[in-house]
Amino acid sequence: MNPMGDNVSQPLFGRVDITGRIWGSDIDTGSQSTDALWGIFQQYDYYHYRAGKEGGINSLFNFSETVAAGVGLVLEHRGSKAALTQDFFADLIVLGAVQNKNLFIIERHYNMGSGLAVKSRTSLRLLDRISLSLDMKVFYINTWKDKDYRLLEEDTHPLYYNTPGDKSRSLAYVLEPSVRIDITRHWGVYASAARLALDSIFTHFPTDKARTTDILLGLCYNL
């Protein structure tokens, strides 16, 4: 694989997004057509896109929100021919990771740390057949502690250093509009276009910026 080429094979699973409710409680809205719920949610997000070139900026985008939990609010308003749903989440990232392209010391090629995440999802359901959605996510991860890998002692193996990478601050953005059209009761077509951006500021290495676009087209099955 040419890490700087334009035609690069991508992994089978380039992204995973899982949200689980730990606890929740309904909110009395005073309206039969509007429901609201708030609670504590667990989040898992994973993005993995291999390197290419887009506008002169390296598009390698590897990022994970492995262990995170926080508060969330879900609102739903139903009309005669449409339904609008709005989700908000604010998470504390207990464990996250961002790939550091400057580090290739055997298994050490990423920075681990903690941070915050804010997410929003707006969904509009039309005529019980067409679904329009807009997802927006912002992640911030700060490395716990660091070691300048350029100044390693010759008699100590790099893997023995108790450090999760180079000291860094990383900010990631995800913006994704999507549409789903149900053809039958169970089958439909789906299309989305996600724009992803990742900026990492390192202590011992130059600032790294990654940009990539993920376009999906396919069939979907509704249970």
Q: What is the pLDDT of residues 27-52, one digit of tens each?
A: 999 999 999 999 999 999 999 887 66
Q: What is the pLDDT at residue 157?
A: 57
| Contact between 39 and 69 (Cβ < 8 Å) | no
Nearest to 172 by CA among 62, 43, 88: 62
Q: Rounded to an integer, what distance in angstroms lies between the CA atom of residue 171 and that of residue 97?
A: 12
Residue 4 has pLDDT above 70, yes or no: no
Q: Rounded to an integer, what distance in angstroms lies between the CA atom of residue 28 and that of residue 26?
A: 7
Q: pLDDT: is 131 or 59 the higher one?
A: 131
Strand partners, 187: 221
Residue 177: pLDDT band (50, 70, 90) is very high
The secondary structure of 33-66 as a DSSP string is: TEEEEEEEEEEEEEEEE---EETTEE--EEEEEE
Q: pLDDT: is 46 or 164 the higher one?
A: 46
Listed in sequence order, the residues at least 6 apart from 59 whose beta carbon sits closer than 8 Å to its beta carbon are 49, 51, 52, 53, 210, 211, 212
What is the per-residue pLDDT across 192-222, written as a single tens digit (0 to 9) for each?
999 999 999 887 778 888 888 889 999 999 8
Q: pLDDT: is 166 or 222 the higher one?
A: 222
Q: pLDDT: is 54 or 209 the higher one?
A: 209
Q: What is the pLDDT at residue 174?
A: 95
Find the Cα–Cα–Cα–Cα dihedral 142, 212, 107, 169, rounded to 10°: -10
| Contact between 140 and 169 (Cβ < 8 Å) | yes
